[in-house]
Each structure stands twice: as C-alpha cells, then as structure tokens.
Structure 1
Amino acid sequence: MVEKIRSSSSGLDTPREARNRILPRLRPNPDRFGSGTENIARFMGTPQFLFYMTVFVVVWLTWNTIAPDNLRFDSAALGFTALTLMLSLQASYAAPLLLLAQNRQDDRDRVSMREDRHRAERNLSDTEYLTREIAELRIAIREVATRDYVRSELRSVLEELLEASDGQDPAQQKKTRKKAPENTASLPRAQQGGRNTGP
C-alpha cells in the first residue's frame, strides 16, 4: 500500500515527464526576428509610412461613402467599424514592435558603452605607462654628461696643468710649454666632441 503511494506520487527530486504538446514550441531566431522588427519600426517612423497610411484611409473612406451600396464593404452608418478595427489592430501590433526595437537599441548602446569604458581604461593605463617611461628617461638624461659639463671639465684640467707648469723648474716649463700647444690644439677637438654629445 505504501509502495503504491510512493510510486504514484512524484516529489521535487524526480524530473517531470514531458507533456505532449498540442502546438509545437516556436523558437524563432532572435537576431533575425529582432532585425525584422527594427526594419518595421524604422519604416513606421518615416514620412512614407504616414503618406501611405493617409492615402489608404482616404481611399477607404471615399470608396465606402461614394461607391454603390452593393460594392461597399464598410458601412458609414455604423461609423466605419472595419476601418476602426484595422487601425486599432495596427496600433496594437505597432506598440510591441517599437518596444522590441527600443530594447535592441538599448542593448547595443549598453554594449557600446561597455566597450567605450574598456577602451578608456586601456588608454588611461597606456598613458600612465608612457608617463612613467618619460619620467625615467628624464632622470636618465640628467645623469648624462652634457656639452657644457665637458667644456667646464676640460677648462679645469687645463687650468690645473697651467698652474702645475708655473711651479716647475725652467727646464720643465720649457717641456710643458712645448706640450701646452698640443693640449690647446687638442682642446677644440674635445669641444667638438662635446658638441656632438650634447642633447
């Protein structure tokens, strides 16, 4: 008895059996369906649609007012019931189509905003990296000997040599004087080298 009750009752832990459907489940392609609804919504927001709709309503009203009674399909005495029904049906379908198109546009805007945010973050990180590299290059350039620094060092060395030659014996001064033109002749070359090594 208990076994029959357990077998007949289905709990939450047992999967539900598939029910036989009378109508097949429709699974349209969302991208194709969405693009179709967007095309319809775009057409409904154009002046051409308003023009065609106006022409249709005018022709409908004119035909059902002027045409013979046996050819009329909508009675003017009843207030053009068929036309009112068609316009309300068109409006009832237009609202969901517009909402679907608006939802797709919102999704696209959200995706583009996310991509723009990621792009801005990448640009910010690249800018920070370049700023750090430029700061390191500036620090490294400060440690490099410039043209003025090389000239000042050469002048100080030349002054030391001249002072040392003044304190020597006359024989040694002759030797240093003979060497001095060589040093002075080599000075412009050093200066030219300092100019080439300048920033």
Structure 2
Amino acid sequence: MSEPIRRDRPGGRPADRLDQPLAKTSRWTLPSRMDPESFGAFAERFARFMGTARFLVWMTVFVAVWVVWNTLGPPSVRFDPYAFIFLTLMLSLQASYAAPLILLATNRQDDRDKVQMEQDRARDERNLADTEFLTREVAALRLAMREVATRDFVRSELRSLLEELVERDGPDEDEGARRRPGGTTGAGPTAGAPRRDT
C-alpha cells in the first residue's frame, strides 16, 4: 500500500494526514483549581459580613474619610475631585462583586434548604408510617381485649358457681352435721332440740 500524499501547508508546516483521525488539541483554558465548596463558603462568609452593622459602619467611615480628604485636604493631596468619580467607580466595582457573591450564598442556602426539606419529608413519612402501624396495633389489642375475661367478670362467675355449689351441697352438709356425735351443729345449745309447733 502506498504512503498517502502529504502536502505541506504554507509556512513549512506539514499537512494533516487524511488516513488518520485528528488528534484532539487542547485549547488554552484558565486552570480551575479552586474548590467550589471553599469558594462557596467564602461567598457565604462575605455575604454574612456584608449584612452586619460592622460592615455598614466601616463602609460609612471609608466614604466619609474619602469625601473629607478630597474636599478639605490640600489641593496637592487630593486625588479625586468633587464629583468623586473614582469613589463612584470603586463603589460600583464593589457592588458588582458583591451581588454575585450574595447570589451564590443564597443559592447554597437554597440547596441546603432543599436537602433539609427532603430529610424532613422522609422523617415525616416514617413518623406517619409508624403512627399508622401503632394505630393498627392498638385497634387489634382493643379487639382482642373484648374477648378476654375481666376481673369483675371472673369474680361474678366464681360467685355464681359458689352459690350453685352451696345450694346443691347444703342439705348434705346439714345431715352430716346432725349425724356427728353429740347431735349438735355448733349453732347453739338448743340447736339439736326438737322443734315445737305453735
């Protein structure tokens, strides 16, 4: 097989071979070595600091010193005349960086809130399932307790059985007591005496 024809490009560089796929050339990109988690934590700290009274006090002091320096200072040391264009530029730059950082911190908080809501929903579903299970168990126990004899019921049944036994065995006990020596039943001195009909 013959070698494919290669034609040199203008400028002396060899042309790409047509029988081989092109090699992937890496374009120059900015290396992204910054950890997104650490950058997000920095954004949250920055947004939290911007929402404090300390930041407002320091910002007010900074602007007041800037204005006083460029208004009342000697003309040789003034670097921003009355319109304070440089100060406006710095405040605009600070606001342009602050807004994305605050949005990033808000997005991270929203993500945390979503995860927390999912965990709360799963916990609520587990609690609901446990509550339903316990409700079914309590209902089953109530149904089973209807068939179980209570203490009062057992006492009443034993009392009625005892009364039946006393009624059935009562005359035999009296005859046995009469046949005992002495002929007394222990009810009194005249218990064995013959009855007089009046």
Do they fold alike, i.e. is TM over 0.5? yes
Offset at residue 160 of structure 1 (A):
3.0
CA pair 104-171 structure 1, distance change in 2 beyond 3 A: closer
User: Is 2:116 the partner of 1:112?
Assistant: yes
* Higher percent of residues as helix: 1
Counterpart CA distance in 2 for 1:153 and 1:88 is 94
Q: For 1:92-171, list aligned pairs within 5 A.
A: 92-165=96-169
Q: For 1:10-159, list aligned pairs within 5 A.
A: 17-21=24-28, 23-76=29-82, 79-159=83-163
Q: Is the 8 A contact 1:37 1:97 kept in 2?
A: yes
For 1:81, give the aligned amino acid.
I
Stretches of structure 1 that go unaligned for 5 or more consecutive residues are: 11-15, 179-199
Identity %: 57
Q: How many residues align?
A: 165
Secondary structure, counterpart of 1:28 in structure 2: coil
Counterpart CA distance in 1 for 2:145 and 2:178 is 38
Q: Which residue of 2 aligns with 1:174?
A: 175
Stretches of structure 2 that go unaligned for 5 or more consecutive residues are: 5-16, 180-198
Deviates more, 1:139-148 or 1:41-50: 139-148
Counterpart CA distance in 1 for 2:176 and 2:154 is 27
Offset at residue 74 of structure 1 (A):
1.3
Secondary structure, counterpart of 1:158 in structure 2: helix
Counterpart CA distance in 1 for 2:113 and 2:69 is 46
- 4+ residue runs over 3 A deviation: 4-8, 162-166, 170-173, 175-178
Counterpart CA distance in 2 for 1:69 and 1:111 is 58
